[in-house]
């Protein structure tokens, strides 16, 4: 059957396929009655049984239509139960599995724990499969609360936790904590459920740790968010921004890690244009509050301190983002991932020695483009009262650049290095345990036996072995 645009109302309405299963009306042959009733209407064109049923419903002969919201919800539940049943069957056939958990708040401000189970399907050609088992509402986000929640879910699905051989989460303290985190509590119950840090979160949370390490760091991203809020709150101001810049401002999102480098990129390479847009907003607006805010942000964007922070953050984020993209590759090997993380750590260590001097040079070029003075304003230094007579007074750091080097650059880079080093160590431990599976074709017999025994001991608990 060939359909034209003229008879789409009588056939499959292709242009309405974004409608939900249930629409805003429960009446047949209405434009907004949803996908379910639209499918019933379509089937009725070719099947006499539903056609006759629909005719009775429309004629008022039948009071029970089986087309309302209750039956729709029952159908969804039936399909959901059947899908979950099939997934659980395949998981139990594969026996061993890993769990992947992540928490995120929804629009109703409730914490939702997503549960994913990964298996190696053994039928035919072995292949890795991941099954999304649903969301769990987490009333308590502590390690104890989350571990209890996932164990309860596995018990309901009749999936024995004793067969779990891996767990992977983000790097939040409640998840990865060595003492009271989810991974520690689950390891107490099953020592063979080895913790593997999430590759995608591993590098990005390095930036989060660094961003919280210094008041200059947190204040800097606060200014970026204020910039976005100022322009995005008005279509006219957004048009003013787009008139000046080639890349628009991006918001700093807590759940989208890539937004960090996107939010910095525009002020790194188009700071002068952003400042011109702010000055135009200040001159054109009649709102005194907007005028004051635009003036304050223009002064901040044009400051030498802001330019240095921008260059430093962009350099760190660029290094981190490159590694992040590589780690998210589907064909990434564990030993290669460890090597990439070690090189990233080495790169940051090297950057610590010369990065601040290079950032000053780049920041001066940005200030010259904006025609502003490349100088830091000296902040007033507060003195503290000495408590004991034998204490010597701390030496004040009078040079503003030196103070920024110590209190901002060194702190941020050191925290990033330490955070990356911690995650590299966790990934290296995993690679060491499974090294025999990575390089066994090249190992001599004695080393092969040694590493095989090491892996066997890792996967053995008491009298039970994997």
The SS3 assignment for 194 reads: strand
Q: Domain check: are 181 and 227 in the same one?
A: no
- Count the helices and strands in the chain (H runs, E runs): 18, 7
The SS3 assignment for 335 reads: helix
How far does Cα 437 stand from its chain's mean position? 30
One digit per residue, the tens of pLDDT, for the chain of length 466 reads 233 333 444 444 444 555 577 777 888 888 888 888 888 888 889 989 888 888 888 887 766 788 888 888 888 888 889 999 999 999 998 889 999 888 777 777 788 888 899 998 877 788 889 999 888 888 887 888 888 889 999 999 999 998 898 888 766 666 666 667 788 888 888 888 888 877 665 555 666 666 666 666 668 888 888 999 999 999 999 999 999 988 888 776 655 566 677 888 889 999 999 999 999 999 999 999 999 999 999 999 999 999 999 999 999 888 888 887 888 777 778 888 888 888 988 999 999 999 999 999 999 999 999 998 888 766 554 544 555 444 444 444 458 888 888 888 988 888 888 888 888 888 888 888 888 887 777 788 888 888 888 888 887 766 565 5
Structural domain span for residue 29: 5-67
CA atoms of 168 and 426, how far apart (whole Å): 12
Residue 207: per-residue pLDDT: 63
Q: Is residue 128 in a domain? A: yes
Q: Domain check: are 132 and 278 in the same one?
A: no
Q: Domain check: are 30 and 172 in the same one?
A: no
Q: Domain check: are 174 and 222 in the same one?
A: no
Is the CB of residue 205 less than 8 Å from the CB of residue 254? no
Q: Domain check: are 101 and 216 in the same one?
A: no
Q: Domain check: are 279 and 213 in the same one?
A: yes
Dihedral pair phi/psi, residue 438, rounded to 5°? -90, -40
CA atoms of 404 and 215, how far apart (whole Å): 11
What's the chain's Rg over C-alpha atoms?
A: 30
Residue 64: per-residue pLDDT: 77
Q: Domain check: are 338 and 365 in the same one?
A: yes
Q: Is residue 116 in a domain? A: yes
The SS3 assignment for 141 reads: coil
Token look-up 């499959």 returns 12
CA atoms of 372 and 377, how far apart (whole Å): 13
CA atoms of 465 and 463, how far apart (whole Å): 7
423: part of which helix (H) or strand (E)?
helix 410-433
Q: Domain check: are 176 and 257 in the same one?
A: no
What sign does the CA torsion over 69, 75, 79, 81 have?
positive
The tokens describing 377, both together, are 């304003």
Give the list of residues 6+ apart from residue 389 with CB closer than 8 angstroms, or none. none
Q: Domain check: are 139 and 119 in the same one?
A: yes
Q: Domain check: are 215 and 299 in the same one?
A: yes
Please state the domain count of the chain.
4
Q: Is residue 388 in a domain? A: no
The tokens describing 100, both together, are 């992947």
DSSP 1: -
CA dist 79 → 75, 76, 262 (Å)? 6, 5, 41
Dihedral pair phi/psi, residue 106, rounded to 5°? -95, -175
Domain finish residue from 164, 196, 228 = 196
Is the CB of residue 145 less than 8 Å from the CB of residue 152? no
Q: Is residue 456 in a domain? A: yes
The SS3 assignment for 60 reads: coil
Q: Is residue 113 in a domain? A: yes
Q: Domain check: are 366 and 262 in the same one?
A: yes
Q: Is residue 79 in a domain? A: no
pTM: 0.72
Q: Is residue 80 in a domain? A: no
Write the pLDDT tens digit of every residue in 176-196: 666 677 888 888 888 888 888
We report the CATH number of the domain holding residue 105 as: 3.30.420
Q: What angle do CA 296, 297, 298 make, to 5 degrees?
A: 90
Residue 271: per-residue pLDDT: 92
Domain finish residue from 172, 196, 220 = 196
Q: Is residue 393 in a domain? A: no
Q: Domain check: are 312 and 237 in the same one?
A: yes
């Amino acid at each position: 059957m060939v359909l034209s645009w003229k008879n789409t109302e009588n056939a499959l309405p292709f242009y309405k396929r974004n409608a939900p299963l249930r629409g805003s009306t429960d009446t047949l042959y209405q434009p907004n009655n949803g996908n379910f009733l639209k499918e019933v209407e379509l089937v009725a064109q070719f099947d006499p049984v539903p056609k006759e049923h629909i005719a009775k419903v429309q004629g008022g002969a039948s009071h029970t239509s089986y087309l309302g919201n209750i039956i729709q919800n029952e159908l969804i539940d039936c399909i959901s139960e059947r899908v979950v049943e099939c997934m659980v069957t395949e998981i139990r056939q594969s026996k061993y599995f890993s769990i992947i958990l992540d928490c995120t708040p929804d629009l109703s401000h409730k914490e939702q724990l997503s549960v994913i189970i990964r298996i190696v399907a053994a039928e035919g050609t072995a292949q890795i499969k991941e099954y999304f088992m649903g969301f769990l509402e987490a009333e308590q986000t502590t390690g104890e609360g989350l571990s209890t929640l996932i164990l309860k879910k596995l018990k309901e699905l009749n999936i024995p936790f004793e067969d779990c051989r891996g767990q992977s989460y983000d790097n939040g303290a409640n998840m990865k904590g060595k003492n009271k985190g989810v991974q520690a509590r689950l390891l107490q119950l099953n020592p063979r459920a080895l913790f593997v840090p999430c590759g995608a979160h591993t590098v990005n949370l390095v930036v989060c740790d660094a961003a919280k390490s210094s008041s200059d760091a947190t204040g800097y991203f606060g200014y970026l968010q204020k910039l976005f809020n100022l322009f995005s709150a008005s279509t006219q101001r957004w048009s003013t921004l787009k008139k000046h810049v080639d890349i628009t401002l991006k918001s700093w999102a807590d759940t989208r890690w890539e937004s960090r480098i996107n939010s910095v990129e525009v002020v790194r390479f188009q700071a002068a244009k952003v400042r011109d847009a702010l000055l135009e907003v200040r001159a054109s607006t009649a709102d005194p509050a907007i005028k004051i805010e635009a003036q304050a942000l223009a002064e901040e964007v044009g400051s030498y301190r802001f330019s240095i922070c921008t260059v430093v953050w962009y350099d760190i984020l660029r290094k981190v983002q490159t590694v992040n993209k590589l780690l998210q590759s589907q064909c990434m090997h564990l030993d290669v991932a460890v090597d990439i993380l070690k090189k990233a750590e080495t790169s940051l260590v090297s950057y610590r020695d010369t990065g601040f001097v290079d950032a000053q040079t780049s920041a001066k070029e940005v200030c010259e483009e904006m025609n502003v003075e490349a100088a830091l304003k000296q902040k007033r230094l507060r003195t503290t009262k000495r408590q004991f007579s034998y204490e010597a007074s701390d030496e004040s750091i009078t040079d503003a650049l030196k103070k920024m080097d110590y209190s901002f650059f060194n702190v941020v880079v050191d925290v990033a290095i330490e955070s990356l080093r911690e995650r590299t160590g966790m990934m290296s431990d995993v690679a060491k345990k499974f090294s025999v599976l990575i390089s066994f074709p090249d190992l001599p017999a004695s080393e092969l036996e040694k590493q095989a025994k090491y892996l066997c001991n890792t996967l053995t608990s008491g009298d039970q072995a994997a």
